Structure 1
Amino acid sequence: MDARRVAELAARNSYGRLVAYLAVRSQDIATVEDALGDAFLKALSSWPQRGVPDNPEAWLLVTARRRLIDMARRSQTHAKALNILNLSGVDSAENLEEISFPDERLKLLFICAHPAINVNIRTPLMLQTVMGLNAAQIGSAFLVAPTTMGQRLVRAKAKIRDAGIPFGLPQTQALPDRLDAVLAAIYAAYTTGWDTVLGGDPSHKGLADEAIWLAQLCGQLLPAEPEARGLLALMLYCAARRGARRSTTGDYVPLSEQDTDLWSQSMIQRAERELHQASIYGRLGRFQLEAAIQSVHAQRASTQHTDWETLAQLYSGLIQLVDTIGARLGHAVAIAQTQGAQTGLDLLDAMDIKTVQKHQPYWALRAHLLAQLDEQPAARQAYAMAIGLTEDPAIRKFLMAKAQSL
């Protein structure tokens, strides 16, 4: 593997860990990100000539730390910053293979959920600092222009620095108040590039695995919080179908056509246990309901059919808890299955077109229902919209085939 590819993988796999570890010690997220950016650039120029180090992550950590020290020496917080960084236990680039450091990502997630941070920017902030997504990716997920999202993120990081927000886990009694934002960010990271309605693959498998791991940590930190277990169950159900979402030739396979023998039953069983444990507390929440929806789909492996009536009821309840585009589309699918395509289409027509104009699953579902109603010109137009909004080549190929079949 060439040096550039190794650096890219290190950036993807290590960015969140490195940011969290250094930010907790320097207490300045933006400066840490600048230092890490310089470290990655240095890796791209150095590794091709000198070879890739045995421990790329440690090399980046040491290099970024040195850059932070250089920056601190030119700042008014020179002494304080140096004292913090010198306590990090990473004092030289010798014996890099021996360097290890704790994963502070969960701590940074709860820091970003501090009450002083605007509620609307907490999840985007976590996605950038902990998961390493850029402003364009986050802006696309939240239907916000990249420049606007970038400005909001800069202001949020400055707020953390200037307000002196403590870089540590809050007291136990304060954790539940921040949990919703943390869980929302973890789930947003899991679904980045992944279409819950169409059932597409995560574009970043590693990011999905990291999200599951972080959800497990949340459950361990707050074992009596049912939504943490609900989120973990939800992601496990979805991850269990990973091997069935592509054919042997790489073609996209929708959920309704997936071979259930390819689903991971051990993962589904683990999800069922988590969902059951969550239900014991008697506090129903969004992620528990979404997990219950996936549980119904998982039952097709044993019953050979999908209980659309139950799904319609669950989606109706979900909309009452959290009225999202995804929940409304899922409800429309279930209603179309139980009451006919026209009824499902009526639900789509009732949605605000401004909110779904650039939402690919909306147009894909609309095209599907129009095709069922034999409204071919309108179906072609909807498929064209969906195809234009699709980034995944396999899903684009699938939609193009559907459109051509008309």
Structure 2
Amino acid sequence: MSAAAAAERAARDSYGRLLAFLLAQGGGFAAAEDALADAFAAALATWPATGVPERPEAWLLTAARRRLTDAHRRRATATEAAPEVLRRALAEAETTPDAIPDHRLALLVACAAPEVELGARAPLMLQTVLGLDAARIASAFLVAPAAMGQRLVRAKRRLKEAGARFRLPDQTDVAARLPEVLAAIYAAYAAGAADPADGGTLAGEAAWLARLLAAMVPEDAEAQGLAALLLHLEARRPAGRDGGGRYVPLSAQDPAHWDAARQAEAETLLRRAATLAQPGRYQWEAAIASAHAMRRVLGRTPWGDILLLYDALVTATGSPVAAVNRAVVLAEVESPSAGLAALRVAGTDARLADYQPYWAALAAIAARAGAAEEALDAKRRAVGLATDPAVRNFLLEEG
């Protein structure tokens, strides 16, 4: 593997973990980001000549901590003791990848601190902890990439001006900031699952963080619901591609290819959430995924039950994405014409203008309802918006 490819892979797989570790040492956000950026720059300058190290993550951590150490030394006065961050950095100089504590969940909670404006909290988590760029974050939140980029820049500038220093959160912090953390983990999963180049890494990391969070706050029903939802989605995600890498929609997937162990764990979490009597968005979505999983047992999809669950979800959230999915289910329960009418109503929400699954659903249901011209126009739009080649090919082959 080339030096550039190794650095790119380390950035994709380890950036959030390394940044969280540096911040957990007690430094400021800007300083930690600068140190890590310098470490990656040093890697690109050094590795082509010396070769890629056996443990790139450890090399980058050492380089970043050296940068932080130098900065603290420059600021230290003759009468002051070495800062705590310096003492820890020197004491842990031999850290290896296996020994690097994973503070990403703590950093997710820290990103929801009062210093961060409300609309930037979940996006900041996605960028700093999970490594998503502004364009992917914007897609997850159905906003323009330029607007999301400005939001992130503004959030970081305000953090720097406020001199905010992150710390490992306590249980009170977790409880107060939980909604933003759940939203970020969910968005990260969606982004990873939709990216064929990711290979499931980001989706798997998001599911792991959701499970960890559910264990941390067992009294929170929505944390249990999100973990259950992502486990159900992970259970069937590999079945979304056949042996040749072609896209397989949920309705055509073989339930025998779903991960039964993950589904069982998801059901345990969903039952635990139900006992807490605190219904919410993630629990509704997990219940929908659970109903789809029943096809393994029933041999059919319980569309009527799923429609009732979507009714509750749309009422509770007003989500345009949920409205699109409900329209698709309505086409199965009542008729393609009923589903098409509901899709047309959902499509009046401007946030769906560039939402590819909306146009794909419109193309499929319009074709079934006999609206051939509308179906063709929607299909062209869906193909143009598709970023996954397998999905694009599937759309082109349909009809």
Per the normalisation by structure 1, the TM-score is 0.90
In structure 1, the residue matched to 2:12 is 12
In structure 1, the residue matched to 2:333 is 338
In structure 2, the residue matched to 1:101 is 100
User: Contact conserved, 1:90 with 1:99, CA < 8 A, in 2?
Assistant: no
Letter in 2 for 1:385: R
Give the drift of 1:74.
6.5
User: Contact conserved, 1:202 with 1:208, CA < 8 A, in 2?
Assistant: no
Residues 35, 99 of structure 1: CA spacing in aligned structure 2 closer, same or farther, 3 A cutoff? same
Distance in 2 between the 1:86 and 1:218 partners? 30
Question: Are 1:397 and 2:393 matched, yes or no?
Answer: yes
Give the drift of 1:150.
2.5
Residues 170, 65 of structure 1: CA spacing in aligned structure 2 closer, same or farther, 3 A cutoff? closer
Question: Are 1:265 and 2:230 matched, yes or no?
Answer: no
User: Contact conserved, 1:201 with 1:245, CA < 8 A, in 2?
Assistant: no
- 1:286-331: CA deviation from partner (whole Å, max 9, x where unpaired): 1111000000000001111111111111011011221212211111
Distance in 1 between the 2:112 and 2:122 partners? 8
Distance in 2 between the 1:244 and 1:99 partners? 31
Letter in 1 for 2:265: R
Letter in 1 for 2:278: R
Q: Structure 1 residues 375-384 or 60-69, which shifts more? A: 60-69
Q: Secondary structure at the match of 1:53?
A: coil
Which one of 201, 220, 224 corresponds to residue 206 of structure 1? 201
Letter in 1 for 2:368: Q
Which one of 287, 292, 307 corresponds to residue 292 of structure 1? 287
- 1:112-164: CA deviation from partner (whole Å, max 9, x where unpaired): 11234222111101001110111222123223343432232232233334445
In structure 1, the residue matched to 2:305 is 310
Give the drift of 1:166.
5.4
Give the drift of 1:180.
0.8
Q: Secondary structure at the match of 1:374?
A: coil
Letter in 2 for 1:298: A
Residues 79, 323 of structure 1: CA spacing in aligned structure 2 closer, same or farther, 3 A cutoff? farther
| Aligned residue runs from structure 1 range 180-195, under 5 A | 180-194=179-193
In structure 2, the residue matched to 1:56 is 56
User: Contact conserved, 2:320 with 2:349, CA < 8 A, in 1?
Assistant: no
Residues 359, 81 of structure 1: CA spacing in aligned structure 2 closer, same or farther, 3 A cutoff? farther
- 1:28-51: CA deviation from partner (whole Å, max 9, x where unpaired): 223322321221122123222212
Question: Are 1:139 and 2:138 matched, yes or no?
Answer: yes
Distance in 2 between the 1:165 and 1:79 partners? 25
Q: Structure 1 residues 134-143 or 381-390, which shifts more? A: 134-143
Distance in 2 between the 1:202 and 1:328 partners? 29
Distance in 2 between the 1:238 and 1:373 partners? 29
- 1:149-184: CA deviation from partner (whole Å, max 9, x where unpaired): 223223223333444555234443343221111011
The sequence identity of aligned pairs, in percent, is 44
- 1:48-88: CA deviation from partner (whole Å, max 9, x where unpaired): 22122222111101111222344556779999997243133
In structure 2, the residue matched to 1:153 is 152
Distance in 1 between the 2:137 and 2:202 partners? 14
Residues 69, 166 of structure 1: CA spacing in aligned structure 2 closer, same or farther, 3 A cutoff? closer
Per the normalisation by structure 2, the TM-score is 0.92
| Aligned residue runs from structure 1 range 111-130, under 5 A | 111-130=110-129
Distance in 2 between the 1:57 and 1:399 partners? 40
Distance in 2 between the 1:122 and 1:291 partners? 24
Give the drift of 1:185.
0.4
In structure 2, the residue matched to 1:369 is 365
Q: Structure 1 residues 336-345 or 141-150, which shifts more? A: 141-150
Give the drift of 1:193.
4.7
Distance in 2 between the 1:6 and 1:62 partners? 16
Distance in 1 between the 2:244 and 2:77 partners? 57
Which one of 319, 323, 339 corresponds to residue 318 of structure 2? 323
Q: Secondary structure at the match of 2:64?
A: helix
Question: Are 1:242 and 2:248 matched, yes or no?
Answer: no
Q: Structure 1 residues 360-369 or 1-10, which shifts more? A: 1-10
User: Contact conserved, 1:192 with 1:202, CA < 8 A, in 2?
Assistant: no
User: Contact conserved, 2:57 with 2:97, CA < 8 A, in 1?
Assistant: no
Q: Structure 1 residues 281-290 or 170-179, which shifts more? A: 170-179
Q: Structure 1 residues 159-168 or 121-130, which shifts more? A: 159-168
User: Contact conserved, 2:273 with 2:283, CA < 8 A, in 1?
Assistant: yes
In structure 2, the residue matched to 1:86 is 86
Question: Are 1:110 and 2:106 matched, yes or no?
Answer: no
Letter in 2 for 1:241: R
Distance in 2 between the 1:13 and 1:77 partners? 38
Q: Structure 1 residues 116-125 or 200-209, which shifts more? A: 200-209
Distance in 1 between the 2:29 and 2:97 partners? 26
Letter in 2 for 1:49: A
User: Contact conserved, 1:62 with 1:90, CA < 8 A, in 2?
Assistant: no
Distance in 2 between the 1:29 and 1:81 partners? 22
User: Contact conserved, 2:235 with 2:260, CA < 8 A, in 1?
Assistant: yes
Question: Are 1:255 and 2:250 matched, yes or no?
Answer: yes
